[in-house]
Amino acid sequence: MGNRNDWPELTSIIDKALASISEAEKTAIRKKYVALRYEQGINRAAALRWILIVVGGAFGIIAFVIFWNRSLASQVRNRTAELDRINQSLSVEVAERERAEKVVRASRDYLKNLTDSMPDAVFSVSMPDRKIEWASDTFNVLGYSATECVGRTTEFSYPDRQEYLAFGEALTDAIAEGKEVLHIDRTLRKKNGDIFPASVTMSVFRMDGQVSSITAIVRDITEQKEAEQEIQLYQKRLKALASQLTVAEERERRRIAADLHDQIGQTLALARLQLAQVRKSVPIDGLTAQIDELSDSMHQAAKDTQQLVFDLSSPLMNELGLAEAISEWLEEKIGKRYALKTKFSQTGGQIPLSDDERAILFRNVRELLTNVVKHARANLVQVSMEYTDVSLSIIIRDDGIGFDDRSLSPQGGIDGGFGLFSVRERMTDFGGTLEIASEPGKGCKATLTVPLRNDLG
């Protein structure tokens, strides 16, 4: 029993009450609440039962421990085998990764050596933002180091933003057309500000059907452009020289033709007249026959000389003009010699042409007509001259076998010859043109066009 500290009176009362209980009452109370029963000796059945329970429990525990140990051993063996397999797999994977890394390092070293040996700047550019992911410029094509380029758009390499945007549009159009490799010449800017011509070769890399990046190779072609300009200059000089040679040749032809006509031709004609006088004054029949034979030989020589003069240069061109010279040559050299039908026509007025231009045009017409005779197998050849206020056109048509005009070689002939090429070049020398139109079985049409020149009278 207990009591609160602040109630001391209750403690005194309880003590008095407990003190008033007799010993017999106290013993009765203890027996009622704290009674113990016990027997003398051992209960063998109970002891055996407890022994069996204890032994059975011990055997159960031992069996459980043995089973658990075996289970753990099996799990350990399985786990060990699994770990061995994992280790073997990891070893193989590590070996493969090492081999792959070795291959990657070798490829990277090879690529580096390759790009370092190239006289070009090489870039890997992401799309569509056109940012540089990787760069190599060993030969200072642009003059930037790799660290200065990576992470920037390519705009810094163009002379201005308009060039950058124009190149982007061209690149977008080419990708839309499905092109995988692009070759474009562009003007670019170096780090020091110099502007230079560049040849840009790009290869497109796609991922999941979309363009993810572009590899660009930039080459400085300044020397190439300078060489091309030098070649073009040489070509112009050679063309000018060829033109001068042609003009000189035509002038020499005219001079020789004039000398043959004025000297040899007249001398032969005079000699025939003299022979005719001698024949009248010689009564001997034998001498008369010989004089006649000599006169005939001189007549044939005069005709051959006249023909040679005509072949060298038409006398009518200087006397009556280009149209009359072409008309006569068409009739005599094409119609009569090769038994072809010929037709000549002229429309419009005449434009002024220099002697050299007339000579070159006449020579070109002769070469074109000669080609008709050699290759066309034609029955009819027509030549027409059409004058306008701005140009002269000479059109040569035939009804021959024709050809596919797409088969014309760069030299101008379907057989690789230089005939049409020479004609075209001579026309180009003084601003003229040669156009060829033909189809198999439909003949051929060649048009020589000369622009009007106001500086000639």
Q: Which of 43-47, 118-122, 232-236, 371-375 has the lowest mean pLDDT?
A: 43-47
Check whether residue 181 and residue 203 sit in a common domain: yes
Check whether residue 369 and residue 428 sit in a common domain: yes
At 414 the pLDDT is 47
Check whether residue 336 and residue 308 sit in a common domain: no
At 416 the pLDDT is 42
Q: Is the pLDDT of residue 457 over 50?
A: no
Check whether residue 188 and residue 245 sit in a common domain: no
Q: Is the pLDDT of residue 37 over 70?
A: no
At 454 the pLDDT is 55
Highest mean pLDDT among 30-44, 157-171, 291-305, 354-368: 157-171
Q: How many domains would you assign to the chain?
A: 3
The C-alpha angle with vertex 177 and arms to 174 and 181, in degrees rounded to 5, equals: 55
Q: Is the pLDDT of residue 409 over 80?
A: no
* Structural domain contains residue 47: no
Highest mean pLDDT among 113-117, 397-401, 420-424: 397-401
Check whether residue 178 and residue 307 sit in a common domain: no
- Span 259-287, mean pLDDT? 71
Long-range contacts from 306-315, C-beta under 8 angstroms, 24+ separation: 306/261, 306/265, 308/257, 308/260, 309/257, 309/260, 309/261, 309/265, 310/257, 312/253, 312/254, 312/256, 312/257, 312/260, 313/250, 313/253, 313/254, 313/256, 313/257, 313/359, 314/362, 315/257, 315/261
Q: How far apart are CA 383 and CA 348, in angstroms?
A: 15
At 238 the pLDDT is 80
Q: Residue 332: exposed, middle, or buried by beta-carbon count in 10 A (0-12, 13-18, 19+)?
A: middle
Average pLDDT, the chain: 81
Q: Is the pLDDT of residue 255 over 50?
A: yes
Last residue of a domain, one of 295, 313, 331: 313
* Structural domain contains residue 450: yes
Check whether residue 208 and residue 232 sit in a common domain: no
Interhelix angle 419-429/355-371, rounded to 10 degrees, is 160
**Higher-pLDDT residue of 237, 412:** 237
Q: Which of 90-104, 239-253, 391-405, 433-447 has the lowest mean pLDDT?
A: 239-253
What percent of the chain has pLDDT above 90?
18
Neighbours of 306 (CB within 10 A): 16
Domain harbouring 181, CATH code: 3.30.450.20
At 192 the pLDDT is 92
Check whether residue 339 and residue 260 sit in a common domain: no
| Secondary element (H or E) of residue 217 | strand 210-220
- Span 309-333, mean pLDDT? 77
Check whether residue 328 and residue 414 sit in a common domain: yes
Check whether residue 161 and residue 188 sit in a common domain: yes
* Structural domain contains residue 242: yes
Extract the runs of DSSP E, i.e. beta strands, from 272-330.
none
Range of the domain at 151: 116-220
Q: Name the band, by pLDDT with cuts 50, 70 and 90, for residue 314.
A: low
- Are 201 and 185 contacting, i.e. CB atoms less than 8 angstroms apart? no
Check whether residue 348 and residue 457 sit in a common domain: yes
**Tens-place pLDDT, residues 204-228:** 988 888 888 999 999 999 998 899 8
| Secondary element (H or E) of residue 170 | helix 161-176
Domain harbouring 422, CATH code: 3.30.565.10
**Among 178, 168, 164, which residue's Cα sits nearest to residue 206?**
178
Q: How far apart are CA 52 and CA 287, in angstroms?
A: 178
Long-range contacts from 405-412, C-beta under 8 angstroms, 24+ separation: 405/436, 405/437, 405/438, 405/439, 408/436
- Distances in Å between the Cα of 179 and the Cα atoms of 170, 206, 239, 300 are 12, 11, 39, 72
Last residue of a domain, one of 261, 286, 313: 313
- Are 376 and 400 contacting, i.e. CB atoms less than 8 angstroms apart? yes
Q: Name the band, by pLDDT with cuts 50, 70 and 90, for residue 196.
A: very high
Q: Is the pLDDT of residue 232 over 70?
A: yes
Q: How far apart are CA 20 and CA 351, in angstroms?
A: 169
**Higher-pLDDT residue of 144, 278:** 144
* Structural domain contains residue 79: no
**Among 347, 304, 312, 311, which residue's Cα sits nearest to residue 332?**
311
* Structural domain contains residue 22: no
* Structural domain contains residue 329: yes
* Prediction pTM value: 0.50
**Higher-pLDDT residue of 350, 390:** 390
Check whether residue 343 and residue 451 sit in a common domain: yes
* Structural domain contains residue 299: yes
Reduced to 3 states (helix: H, G, I; strand: E, B; else coil), residue 110 is helix
Edge to edge, the sheet with strand 341-347 lists: 341-347, 380-387, 391-398, 444-451, 433-438
Last residue of a domain, one of 220, 236, 253: 220
Check whether residue 291 and residue 364 sit in a common domain: no
The β-bridge partners of 381 are 342, 398
